[in-house]
Amino acid sequence: MKLRWKIAIGVAVLAIAGLGYAGNYFYDYAVVPSEKDFLEGDTPGTDENQTGSEAQNWFTDAANREMWQLTSEDDLKLSAIYLPAEEKNQGKTAIIAHGYMGNAETMADYAKMYHDLGYNVLVPDARGHGQSEGDYIGFGWHERKDYLQWIDEILAKNGSEETITLYGISMGAATVMMTSGEDLPKNVTSIIEDCGYTNVNEELGYQLDQLFGLPAFPLMNVTSLVTKIRAGYFFGEA
């Protein structure tokens, strides 16, 4: 084999190995639930520093809440906080979705807003967040199936005539948008998305440029492939 071919093959092997390493690095950086140094505390639906506010005091009072759990289709134990309306038989429930690397405990203000309007309120921890199991973030794609189960849970416990509003902020907004594409029962009468992203590829590509000054191609493509292998979905699905 001529030297130039050996060099070309060596360069190609190194490039593939480098891209594989980069794909796994960015998967761990963005998709694995962990403390994120790039979050500045102003991401909607992630701020837990609300101690002392009226909403937070009400929200954390054990007398006002119940803990619900269910098992996802892929056998994860999922958790949610349920806050029943003060007046019984209101017949309406709001299910509230938090943002990226937030959790149910960050949603006191939103829960209080709906509760004051007479709703029962259910605030799930997304998979991989808070008290819910999971070793990856689905960016709303896998979570949409979990929300179908939470809807069924509401109907099972509150009755088949319950009306349901889905509300989500940031990644939670993307979650309820993706849930809207499923076969929903007629009980879901409104879906409110607050500052969700258009799709995962654009969101993560933007962050890749802002944080690292790197182009989306080919790193996003490689990271998406790694995500398919490790978490079961391509970014393009979301």
Looking at residue 46, what is its pLDDT?
58
* Prediction pTM value: 0.92
Give the side-chain half-sphere CA count within 13 A for 153.
Answer: 23
CATH of region 51-197 = 3.40.50.1820
Q: Tens digit of pLDDT for each residue in 199-223? A: 999 989 998 999 999 999 999 999 9
Sequence ranges of the domains in the chain: 1-30+199-238, 51-197
Position 45 confidence tier, pLDDT thresholds 50, 70, 90: low
Position 42 confidence tier, pLDDT thresholds 50, 70, 90: low
Residue (of 224, 220, 166, 157) closest to 196 by Cα position: 166
Distance CA 175, CA 138 (A): 9
Mean pLDDT of 62-77: 97
Mean pLDDT of 11-40: 86
To the nearest whole percent, how much of the chain has pLDDT over 70? Answer: 92
Distance CA 31, CA 54 (A): 34
Residue (of 208, 140, 133, 210) closest to 170 by Cα position: 140
Residue (of 195, 146, 189) closest to 174 by Cα position: 195
* C-alpha 223, offset from chain centre: 18
Mean pLDDT of 118-144: 97
Q: Looking at the DSSP assignment, which residues form a beta bridge with residue 163?
A: 92
Looking at residue 90, what is its pLDDT?
84
Looking at residue 44, what is its pLDDT?
57
Q: Percentage helix, strand, coil, to 5, in the chain?
A: 45, 15, 40
Q: Looking at the DSSP assignment, which residues form a beta bridge with residue 81?
A: 67, 123
Position 39 confidence tier, pLDDT thresholds 50, 70, 90: low
H/E element holding 63?
none
Q: Tens digit of pLDDT for each residue in 79-128? A: 999 999 988 778 999 999 999 999 999 999 999 999 999 999 999 999 99
Mean pLDDT of the chain: 91
To the nearest whole percent, how much of the chain has pLDDT over 90? Answer: 79
